[in-house]
Structure 1
Amino acid sequence: MKGVYDLNLPYKLIISGSGSLELKANIQESLTGRKRLFRLFPVSFEEFLQYHTEYKYEDRLPEFLAVEGEHVRFLLEEYLQFGGYPRIVTEARLDEKKLLMDEIFHSYLEKDIVYLLKVDRPEIFVHLIRLLAVHSGKLVNYSHLASSLGIAVRTLKKYLWYAENTFIIQMVTPFYRNIKKEITKSPTVYFVDLGLRNFALGRFGNLVAVSENGFAFQNFVFNLLQEKADKLGGRLHSWRTKERAEVDFVLEKVDEVIPIGIKYASLKKISILRSMRTFIEKYQPKSAWVVNLSLDTTSELNHTKIHFIPYFKLLFSGSS
């Protein structure tokens, strides 16, 4: 590629691959100063809404969200079930969606994991992905997970690195300032695509229990927040103490931290959980968020403004 670039042809070359590892494996010479890397995520919820409304609200999506609450909720449930891989989004038939996701999963396994990364026990890797799907949104216990898989912790961490660098999962590190009080080093795992997470769970298109949708919603909000954090130049963390006080996310910016709680519910009134109160008392942030399905209001606790934010407001830059 370096040689082609140095020919100074009047063209721009776009080189695609399922993950950065593939590009690194096949481009041996340095392209420093000659390349620009783009990370392509699955179809976002905003793009998903635009597609399913035939782009009628392309310039006025907030208006659609405000007046079509029931329809939006239906589309949210579909997105939580099937995720955002483009071919899955555009396919209407459930049986075909399942076949497509099966193909995506096994193609990833055969191409990236077996062929490219030379994992000699792919069944262990598959089992890991399934266990991570079960534990998405929860702390990873390296010792317990390695024991369940029958592998060494060192091998487990290598497999987790593979999964993250092939864009299957993202690991969220803990936020802490007092190492004696808070659990450190154990990350929380989320999936880049909800459809693949549900497929690994054996629940693709079949999330039934409220708790199942709740964990999917938390993962969904994580993806929205991650996009926002990238734009703000911030970082997302989890937070949990040994006393089991827990806040889903902490958005760490240069000049402030924002604790964020997730509630898969149409809240009717202000309710501040004890763990959120604990974080506010400890760190005294300027603001806190409670992301939920519908409630849009602001409260205050110990000089901290607590914003109850409907999830769809995270789609727009002004929500921060």
Structure 2
Amino acid sequence: MNTTVIHRHALEDLRRDIHRPEVAFLIGPRQAGKTTLMQIIQKELKDAGENTVFLSLDYDQDRVFFDSQQHLLKKIELETGKSGFVFIDEIGRLDNAGIFLKGLQDMGLPYKFIVSGSGSVDLRAGIRESMLGRKRIYEISPLNLLEFVNFKTDYQYSERLSDFFALEHARSEDILLDYMNFGGYPRVVLESLAREKNREMDEIYQGYIIRDIAYLLKVEKIESYSRLIRTLADQAGQIINYSELSSTLGISLPTVKNYCWYAEETYILQRISPFYRNLRSEITKAPTVYFHDPGLRNFALGIFGNLHRPDDLGFVFQNLVYLILREKIRFTGASIHFWRTTAKTEIDFIVDTGREVIPIEVKFQNMDKPSVPRAFDSFISRYSPSCCLVVNKKLQTTIRRHGTEVRFVTIWDLLLEDLPINT
């Protein structure tokens, strides 16, 4: 296995905020790199002469210290003295973790707590409610495309990626297809052989089902839950019909909705709602879904590392555009939707800032000349956006349509440039 360190953007956020008083709570899917980031931060603090202690509830020898807050504090003081940095990994194994952490934080102790857990922790332990105003959340996801590209190019072009993409077309295409096939889970990325990548993803997926869904969230119908994930993977980017899912899977409608919520809260997928202003002519309720990692989506469908069909490639490319947009609007207050009329005119994404909107259509094509999607005409006539985007594999140009700027951009343009809206 490759042991090269992968540079994560979240590491800079943690370094910047390490002296803030709130509990630093690293949350995200299993195997996304939370423990590794904590270990890197701990080493840096120790090298700087700071007192630290690292405890994991995965280990029996550490778990015994969590039977009470006072017992834990004695252990912390033994290891760090009167002040220091306390790292707690896998807090989800502790019952009532939210209340436990809240009590520690409310004591005003001279310790900075850095804690990790999966999405199921928040659901099971009530951390979101218990720690309101006492925590700062750092969402640790699988590698995004930018992190993946930098790793795959050995960080040689991290400050010159636009030049790299402009010159290295074939290599850029290979990297893109690699990410679309295998995704960004660090353990998968670090493996060079396809069979080893498959083995790692199988362990990640089974670990998620067994530990998060069965053990922590107490879901009993594991096979039904797995089938739901596979079905949603096959419908990524399409409108979801809950009643149809209930009938297909043979589980009740409330259970389907509950399982979808679990999948969302455990960072497997994200539901996005329709954009609408006209209740009569636009879809208003049914969501679409996208996966947080294309590799896991492919694994659930049995096509991990084997994207060949144009439809599969197109769906994953669209999913990837969603992930890039999601990164770009984080902390801006903007939201992502899709648009569809009752006449079935549709646009893949609508980024809504509250003051303006930008429609985005995705084409997994090497476009040679601008061809404006017909849905843009309808949307422009209704909402007069200042700009529309067509994300494709090759074409870079701008035209005007009914007074609106229509930009044709590549996936790399979208990755590196700001969205053309004021947030």
Q: TM-score, normalised by structure 1?
A: 0.95
What residue in structure 2 maps to residue 66 of structure 1? 166
CA distances 1:117-143 after superposition (whole Å, capped 9, x unpaired): 111111000000000011000000111
Residues 33-48 of structure 1: pairs in structure 2 closer than 5 A: 33-48=133-148
The answer on whether the counterparts of 1:182 and 1:241 sit within 8 Å (CA) in structure 2 is yes
Amino acid at match of 1:4: L
What residue in structure 1 maps to residue 121 of structure 2? 22
Which segment is superposed worse, 242-251 or 277-286? Answer: 277-286
146, 149, 157: which is aligned to 2:246? 146
The answer on whether the counterparts of 2:398 and 2:407 sit within 8 Å (CA) in structure 1 is yes
The structure-2 alpha-carbon separation of the partners of 1:193 and 1:60, relative to structure 1 and needing over 3 Å to count, comes to same
Identity of aligned residues (%): 45
Question: What secondary structure does 1:154 align onto?
Answer: helix
What residue in structure 2 maps to residue 133 of structure 1? 233
Please give the alpha-carbon distance, in whole angstroms, between the structure 1 residues aligned to 2:326 and 2:130: 30
What residue in structure 1 maps to residue 270 of structure 2? 170
What residue in structure 2 maps to residue 292 of structure 1? 392
Please give the alpha-carbon distance, in whole angstroms, between the structure 2 residues aligned to 1:111 and 1:308: 44
The answer on whether the counterparts of 2:236 and 2:315 sit within 8 Å (CA) in structure 1 is yes
Please give the alpha-carbon distance, in whole angstroms, between the structure 2 residues aligned to 1:243 and 1:319: 29
Q: TM-score, normalised by structure 2?
A: 0.73
What residue in structure 2 maps to residue 303 of structure 1? 403
TM-aligned CA deviation for residue 42 of structure 1? 1.2
Question: What secondary structure does 2:375 align onto?
Answer: helix
What residue in structure 2 maps to residue 261 of structure 1? 361
Question: What secondary structure does 1:62 align onto?
Answer: helix
Structure 1: give runs of 5+ residues left out of the alignment: none
Amino acid at match of 2:184: G
TM-aligned CA deviation for residue 229 of structure 1? 2.1
What residue in structure 2 maps to residue 80 of structure 1? 180
228, 232, 237: which is aligned to 2:328? 228
What residue in structure 1 maps to residue 57 of structure 2? none
What residue in structure 1 maps to residue 105 of structure 2? 5
Amino acid at match of 1:119: V
CA distances 1:266-298 after superposition (whole Å, capped 9, x unpaired): 110010121222111222111101011111110
Question: What secondary structure does 2:355 align onto?
Answer: coil
The answer on whether the counterparts of 2:328 and 2:418 sit within 8 Å (CA) in structure 1 is no
Please give the alpha-carbon distance, in whole angstroms, between the structure 1 residues aligned to 2:333 and 2:103: 35
Please give the alpha-carbon distance, in whole angstroms, between the structure 2 residues aligned to 1:283 and 1:186: 21
CA distances 1:123-170 after superposition (whole Å, capped 9, x unpaired): 000000000011000000111111001112111111100000000000
Please give the alpha-carbon distance, in whole angstroms, between the structure 1 residues aligned to 2:143 and 2:227: 26
TM-aligned CA deviation for residue 251 of structure 1? 0.7
184, 187, 198: which is aligned to 2:287? 187
Structure 2: give runs of 5+ residues left out of the alignment: 1-100
The answer on whether the counterparts of 1:313 and 1:319 sit within 8 Å (CA) in structure 2 is no
The structure-2 alpha-carbon separation of the partners of 1:26 and 1:141, relative to structure 1 and needing over 3 Å to count, comes to closer
Please give the alpha-carbon distance, in whole angstroms, between the structure 2 residues aligned to 1:65 and 1:11: 45
Please give the alpha-carbon distance, in whole angstroms, between the structure 2 residues aligned to 1:145 and 1:30: 34
Bigger Rg over Cα? 2
Please give the alpha-carbon distance, in whole angstroms, between the structure 1 residues aligned to 2:333 and 2:365: 29
CA distances 1:91-123 after superposition (whole Å, capped 9, x unpaired): 111111101101111100011111111111110
Please give the alpha-carbon distance, in whole angstroms, between the structure 1 residues aligned to 2:233 and 2:180: 14
TM-aligned CA deviation for residue 31 of structure 1? 2.7
2:52 counterpart of 1:52: no
Question: What secondary structure does 2:371 align onto?
Answer: coil
Question: What secondary structure does 1:56 align onto?
Answer: coil
Please give the alpha-carbon distance, in whole angstroms, between the structure 2 residues aligned to 1:319 and 1:148: 39
Question: What secondary structure does 1:38 align onto?
Answer: strand
